[in-house]
Amino acid sequence: MPTSKTPPRHRSVTLLSVGHGCVDIYQGAVAALVPFFVSERAYTYAAASAVVLAATLLSSVVQPLFGVFTDRWALPWLLPVSTLAAGAGVALSGLGGSYPLTLLAVAVTGIGVAAYHPEAARVAREVSHGSHTAMSWFSLGGNIGFALAPLLVSAVVATAGLRASPLLAVPALVGAVLCATALRSTRTSATAAAATRAATAAGRDDWASFTRLTGAIVCRSIVFVGLSTFLSLYVHQRTGAGSAAGTAALFVLYLGGAVGTVAGGRLAARYRRVTVVRWAYALTVLAVAGVVFVPGPPLYVFVALTSAGLYVPFSLHVTLGQDYLPRRVGTASGVTLGLAVSVGGIASPAIGALADATSLHTALMPLIAFPAVGWLLLRTLSEPGTPRAAAPPTPDGARPTPAADTGHRP
């Protein structure tokens, strides 16, 4: 925990990172609840994947809208409020047996997550002064939340059933307190947000590059959400082991993100971000193929490699998007940070329907192609600002962003 001697900037990033983890528990929790919906309520694969869709579709559509709002106004109160909403949806999803009410509950979670990310990313950018490394630590908090989700859900629901789901609201309560504390520490205000927008007014938005980046993120998202939804069931079938084997695989997928996210920030300190991102997508093609085709315990190795390939570019997506759209940081954050973990849910019902018609093994095969498509979209991208004389990296490895170049401090 931060001490009284911790610099305010580091203390604020730490609080935001832990708060981010509390929110992203609920993105991981929805997928982790799928096996219990199948076993306790006899949902088909398609019905179970539609639950994930309910949590992600609204988030995919609404999140950029929240980004547009945060570009115009500072909305720091969204952080604690959206955290509570995300937790409330998951807490209510296990109560009662009504399928429509379950969909409604997880949709509330999706809206809470959508409201949180653009404003949180804007605040993190202000606090860190555009540092890629600091953003990787902020993203790390969310990835740890993802990693803890299956363990938390399993500990609560496997022990007491879906009706114990209200206990899953505890992280939301903790996260709301941490977010409120971080906001008091950073003193984020409408004046600070206005100063940031004025400082970046000289920047030029590169929509063509941002669109290609977004396309790659969509490909990454389809792979990640597809595996998050069905990996636990797939590993259980593939290895012949108990349900714990599936939970362990999901934990490896999420926990590897912690390593990958930090590695992405470090690699960006030595190489161009676009280069790091391209290599990560290439690795993911081979890793997903291993998950699909390699039998037995070695499958876990390829799950870990897939996790690394998916997460190394995670925080770099955010900073690249913000630098491609320096005048619309909130919009860029809403698309890159939120879309990266939500829009893939749109493809989940198709995967589930294919699995019902054939098998999970067959349904997961198309996931191998998506990171290859993402690599093709990224192949012609250039580092933001490279057509001009690029400034040297800062000591922490971040190339100055338009906000950082002006010397603005929140």
Q: Convert 160-195 to b/e letters by CB count within 10 Å (16 or more is b).
A: eebebbeebbebbebbbebbbbbbebbebeeebbeb
Question: In this structure, which amino acid lies at residue 294?
Answer: V
Q: DSSP per residue over 96-111, as a string?
A: SS-HHHHHHHHHHHHH
pLDDT in tens, 93-142: 888 778 888 888 888 998 898 888 888 887 877 777 666 677 778 878 88
pLDDT of residue 259: 80
Determine the CATH number of domain 10-398.
1.20.1250.20
pLDDT of residue 30: 85
pLDDT of residue 342: 66
* Cβ neighbours of 240 (radius 10 Å): 10
pLDDT of residue 397: 40
pLDDT in tens, 1-59: 444 454 556 777 788 888 899 998 988 888 888 888 888 887 887 788 788 777 777 77
Supply the Cα-derived Rg of the chain in whole angstroms: 20
Q: Which of 87, 34, 21, 50 is nearest to 247 (CA)?
A: 34
DSSP tag of 292: H
Distances (CA, A) of 200 to 327, 333, 383: 6, 15, 18
Structure tokens at 71: 């570009």
The residues spanned by each domain of the chain are: 10-398
pLDDT of residue 210: 94
Please provide the size of the chain in residues.
410
Enumerate residue ranges in the chain where pLDDT < 70: 1-9, 129-132, 185-203, 240, 242, 338-342, 345, 385-410
Structure tokens at 212: 């290609």
CA distance 246 to 41: 19
Please say whether the beta carbons of 187 and 410 come within 8 A.
Answer: yes
Q: Tell me the Ramachandran region of residue 96: left when phi exceeds 0, alpha when psi lies from -120 to 50, beta otherwise.
A: left
Q: DSSP per residue over 338-376, as a string?
A: IHTTTGGGGGHHHHHHHHHHS-HHHHHGGGGHHHHHHHH
Strand, helix or coil at 85?
A: helix
